[in-house]
Amino acid sequence: MKHLLLLALAALLAVAPASAAELTVEAPPDNDGLNLDLSWEEANDPAGWGVLRTETGSDDWTLLKVLTGDARSLSDKVTTDVWEHPPAESYDYQLVALRTVPDLADVEDEAAAVLAAGSVAATATGKPKAAKLRTGMKSKNYGPLLMLLIIIAVGVMMQKFAADVRSGKEVFIRRIPGIDAIEEGIGRATEMGKPILYVPGIDELQDIQTIASMLILGQVSQKVAEYQSDIIVSCCIPIVREVSDEVVRAGYYQAGYPDAYNPRNTRFISSEQFAFCAGTNGIIYREQPATNIYLGRFFAESLILAETGFVNKSIQIAGTAEATQLPFFIAACDYTLIGEELFAVSAYLSRDPRLVSSLKASDWVKLFVVICLLVGTLLTTFGFPIINTLFSISGG
Amino acid sequence: MRSTVPLVLTFLVGLFMVGEYFIPHWGYHVITQLLLEWGLILAAAAFLLGLFNLIQVNLPKVLNREEDWGYKLVMLISLAGTLVVGFWGNTGRLNPGEAYKWLFDFVFVPLNATMFALLAFYIASAAFRAFRARNLEATVLLVAAIIVMIARVPLGESLPLVGEKLPQFMNWIMDVPNIAARRAIFIGAALGAVSTGLRVILGIERSHLGAD
Amino acid sequence: MKLDTLVKFQHMDRRWIFLGMGLAILLPMLFPVNLPFKVDERVQSLYDAVEEIPAGSTVFISADFDPASRPELEPFFRANLHHLLRKDVKFVSATLWPSAPPLVLPIFEELTAEYGKEYGKDWAFLGFKDGKELAIKAIGENIPETFPQDIKGNKVEDLEVMRGFKQAKDFAMIINVSAGFPGTREYVLQIQGQYDLSIASATTAVSGPDYIPFYKAGQLNGLSAGMPGSAQYEKLVFPDGPPDGVRLLATQSVNVLNVGHLFIIVLIVLGNVAFLVTRQAEEQA
């Protein structure tokens, strides 16, 4: 009998749930106030862990997750719908060490099923807390702070250089042949009595390349109006068409020829990529523009547009920051603006001191980044990844 | 007033959206998400304007029998036909046997694929024209392009003597100089984007706002 | 060879080039050579990652391609489905491209029927969601809220295959078949780091080089680029050849790639020879 009792005790101990684990619940650094990180210590692995949660003061437990026996942490997002279920002030958690992993298919009360299949190893309370400012200081990822400093630095430098330019200081901008060619192209089109085709890319208005293209379109349309030529703008996105219409109208107005603007020259073709491409090709074949300007974000249609323009013997100037399309533009166009040159066009064309100063400010930041790259590479090679830490960004 | 209000709005909203990255609080994100969704709704509403613009530009050319009016008529009939068929089919329009599905499978898909297929021919003619060893840089580009092209396909791996090494060299070209150049373009473009964004937010660039 | 012939050759009518390219595409389709090819490390890594998924798990497939990119991506898409279905891995799919649903739904229905899988229990297709990066963020946060109904009008919350799967991180893996924007880059930038997701990507050849840094940084656990990538994946999934009724589209198409690339290379080399000879003659004259 004694042996049987001992055997039973041994069997119970073998499958007995773990002794009380230590559960900690903390808000992760730089979080949005909707996350809590759970972690616990336990020497033995049970069959599994069940994690239950309820708002403090409530008995309505819900099962968060059933984890494997070797798990020791869980990230909990307390709510995914802040409108319907805004986060509570604090949450209670129960960590259940499972004797067996329950089958929860077709179970209504999953929390009760988990409790029945194990015993509570630990409880804790956690308060979601949003960080006031994401600087990365707590998690030692200083990237966000550095980014904030860079943005402020660019803004301050822009003001400083603009003041310098206004006071008469000369600012050197290196010659960019592609941008010079825009004015030459407009002149060529005027001489030939043919229009200029402007394609602002195929991406949405909120894309920064489309915004840059709209800014350039303003300058280009003003020059076109001064030369008393025509500009056709071919748009893939309807809202881009509406903004282009306003921009070109403003350009004509600034040049002093408001009545010369023909709204039918700013066209929405199609929001479908290749239908847009076919439509724009049709414009090139029928209206035979002397100059084609492709500035913005392009995808697979870039080469088709550029080749059609080549057959039409147009001068072609392209500019995009989309690295995958640059080779096609370089192969098929007369001039290509690569990456940041696209963002420099409006400043280059207008020579407005405030715009030119922004070019200079971003160049200084670029220099800073290059120095960090070189120094960081050297330091990391010798085992000191300090610069890496400075630029690293947490998951957030 | 006409240009001041948009400038002030641009500044405030721009600053608010930039702040989203630095202020993690969920309440802040609720508002930025709402603004982004409003932007999507506006863009969707603009589709109607796009439709009107298509008709506005092309219908007069058909009515006045201007040059190539026939193509414009085909375009307008296709536009109207697809709209009608799409609305008629309702939620079941993608079911087999439906007219809209037929249009998709036998008109849209082949046309879309055909336009993309043109790239194969245009790449050949553009490459023939552009890849000339005019100077040292052009020669390096030419040689790298040939190595990558031949190594990407089984033909390159099957070449005697060099077949083993060619894919490794191609991978090195793609992994080292190619990535280095792309990263340089990304960094430059990102800084240019920051500069452009700041110019728009601070009201230094105004040409997107239209005429005074 | 006469100098003016070489000059004419350099400026020949591009329609001759188109004709040559057309033959370079047509002939290998009619007379395939089937040269052997090796599997790239990134494709092998993708295959291994899928192979490690335990039976009974569920993956999320984001099928983001259109008719234009179908030749490059559909072979991978089909091979990947075969890979998942024969391992008894369940899947939930959605798309961010409006022209994708009519392309992918028939493929899902065809292959799941072949493996005897039941809709709602073993697989589900949630349809298209507009919003690009916003839609991806929403998939990261709450899938039933982002897709209240599936493509057949069922409530997503009620689908058996969606039980316990609320967010992207709940799935064993995200498989993104991506033709461009929005696609792999947006998944990596918007939600991969935030939720520490396991993402595998199949993409077009032109976008492949852009995603290599993501693979090297460990943000993608595998990458298949273009038709060669799809052919290599087919080779791994069907090492002994395809079963009856299954066509290895990418493997067959690689014959065309061989001859097509060779044609372009020969053209470029001949063009340069003509260019250098004429330049030398002009310098001597």
Let me know how long chain A is.
396
**Both structure tokens of B83:** 């709209």
Contact state of C134 with B116 under an 8 Å Cβ cutoff: no
**Both structure tokens of B73:** 């008529």
Our CA-based measurement puts residue B69 at a distance from the nearest CA of chain A, in whole angstroms, of 12
What does the alpha-carbon distance between residue A271 and residue A281 come to, in Å, rounded to a whole number? 15
A77, A272, A302: best mutation site toward chain C, by most C Cβ within 10 Å? Answer: A77
What does the alpha-carbon distance between residue A367 and residue A372 come to, in Å, rounded to a whole number? 9
Burial class (CB in 10 A: 0-12, 13-18, 19+), A237: buried
Average pLDDT per block of 10 residues along chain A, 396 residues long: 55 49 88 91 90 93 90 89 88 94 85 93 93 77 82 85 83 87 94 97 92 94 95 95 94 93 93 94 95 96 96 96 92 93 89 84 88 92 86 61
The pLDDT score that the predictor gives to residue A215 is 92
Q: How far from the centroid of its chain's Cα atoms is residue B49's Cα? A: 20
Burial class (CB in 10 A: 0-12, 13-18, 19+), A32: buried
Residues of chain B found within 8 Å of residue A204, distances taken between Cβ atoms: 43
Chain B contact present for A207, CB below 8 A? no
**Both structure tokens of C241:** 């050849």
Chain B contact present for A30, CB below 8 A? yes
C neighbour chains, 3+ CB pairs within 8 Å: A, B
Confidence of residue B212 (pLDDT cuts 50, 70, 90): very low
Q: If DSSP codes are grouped into helix, strand and coil, which group holds residue A354?
A: helix
Stronger pLDDT, A164 or C263, i.e. the higher one: C263
Q: Which position has the token pair 């099962």?
A: A63
Average pLDDT over residues C256-284: 91
Q: If DSSP codes are grouped into helix, strand and coil, which group holds residue C87?
A: coil
Q: What's this model's pTM, rounded to 2 decimal places?
A: 0.87
Residues of chain A found within 8 Å of residue B198, distances taken between Cβ atoms: 151, 154-155, 158, 358
The pLDDT score that the predictor gives to residue B106 is 94
Write down the ipTM of this complex. Answer: 0.89
Q: How many CB atoms lie within 10 A of CB C41?
A: 12
B14-37: b (≥16 Cβ within 10 Å) or e:
beebbebebbbbbebbeebeeebe
Average pLDDT over residues B92-109: 89
Chain A contact present for C166, CB below 8 A? yes
For residue C47, give every residue at least 6 positions away whose Cβ sits within 8 Å of its Cβ, in sequence order, or none.
C39, C83, C222, C233, C236, C237
Contacts 24+ apart (CB under 8 A), A262-267: A262/A230, A264/B56, A264/B57, A265/A195, A265/A230, A265/A231, A265/A232, A265/A233, A266/A232, A266/A233, A266/A235, A266/A241, A267/A232, A267/A233, A267/A234, A267/A235, A267/A241, A267/B53, A267/B54, A267/B57
Residues of chain C found within 8 Å of residue A272, distances taken between Cβ atoms: 99
What does the alpha-carbon distance between residue A186 and residue A315 come to, in Å, rounded to a whole number? 10
The pLDDT score that the predictor gives to residue C282 is 84
Size of interface B-C (CB pairs under 8 A): 122
Let me know how long chain C is.
285
What does the alpha-carbon distance between residue C178 and residue C91 come to, in Å, rounded to a whole number? 17
pLDDT in tens, C203-223: 999 899 889 889 988 999 999
Residues of chain B found within 8 Å of residue A369, distances taken between Cβ atoms: 187, 191
Of B37, B40, B179, which is closest to C213 when you measure between CB atoms?
Answer: B179
Contact state of A343 with B196 under an 8 Å Cβ cutoff: yes
What does the alpha-carbon distance between residue C140 and residue C134 come to, in Å, rounded to a whole number? 10
Q: Which position has the token pair 């991406």?
A: A203
| B203 contacts A353 by C-beta, under 8 angstroms | no
Report all structural domains of chain A as residue ranges with CATH numbers, in order of start: 2-126 (2.60.40.10), 171-351 (3.40.50)
pLDDT in tens, C22-58: 999 999 999 988 888 889 999 999 999 999 999 999 9
What does the alpha-carbon distance between residue A251 and residue A246 come to, in Å, rounded to a whole number? 9
Chain B contact present for A354, CB below 8 A? yes
Distance (Å) of CA B3 to CA A159, A353, B9, B28, B211: 22, 20, 10, 28, 8
Query: Residue B211: pLDDT above 80?
Result: no
The pLDDT score that the predictor gives to residue A394 is 56
Q: Phi and psi dihedrals of A198, rounded to 5?
A: -125, 125
Residues of chain C found within 8 Å of residue B171, distances taken between Cβ atoms: 40
Residues of chain C found within 8 Å of residue B36, distances taken between Cβ atoms: 134
What does the alpha-carbon distance between residue A270 and residue B58 come to, in Å, rounded to a whole number? 13
Residues of chain B found within 8 Å of residue A215, distances taken between Cβ atoms: 196, 199-200, 205, 207-208
Contact state of B175 with C212 under an 8 Å Cβ cutoff: yes
The one-letter amino acid at C82: H
Select from A300, C115, A330 the least CA-distant residue to B112: A300
Q: Which position has the token pair 């822009």?
A: A158
What does the alpha-carbon distance between residue C126 and residue C139 come to, in Å, rounded to a whole number? 11
Q: Dihedral of the CA atoms A67, A71, A77, A80 (nearest 10)? A: -30
The pLDDT score that the predictor gives to residue B210 is 62
Quick one: how many helices (H) and strands (E) in chain C? 12, 6
**Both structure tokens of A220:** 């280009």
Contact state of B191 with A366 under an 8 Å Cβ cutoff: yes
For residue A57, give every residue at least 6 positions away whose Cβ sits within 8 Å of its Cβ, in sequence order, or none.
none
Stronger pLDDT, B209 or B122, i.e. the higher one: B122
> Rg for chain A (alpha carbons), in Å?
32
Average pLDDT, chain B: 88
Query: Residue C127: pLDDT above 90?
Result: yes
Size of interface A-C (CB pairs under 8 A): 31
What does the alpha-carbon distance between residue A196 and residue A359 come to, in Å, rounded to a whole number? 27
Contact state of A354 with B204 under an 8 Å Cβ cutoff: yes
Select from A75, A77, A57, A124 the least CA-distant residue to A96: A124
Burial class (CB in 10 A: 0-12, 13-18, 19+), C93: buried
Query: Residue B163: pLDDT above 60?
Result: yes
A neighbour chains, 3+ CB pairs within 8 Å: B, C
The pLDDT score that the predictor gives to residue B42 is 84
For residue A252, give every residue at least 6 positions away whose Cβ sits within 8 Å of its Cβ, in sequence order, or none.
A221, A222, A225, A258, A260, A261
Chain B contact present for A187, CB below 8 A? no
| C232 contacts C43 by C-beta, under 8 angstroms | yes
Contact state of A80 with C142 under an 8 Å Cβ cutoff: yes
Distance (Å) of CA B97 to CA B100, B104, C98: 9, 11, 20
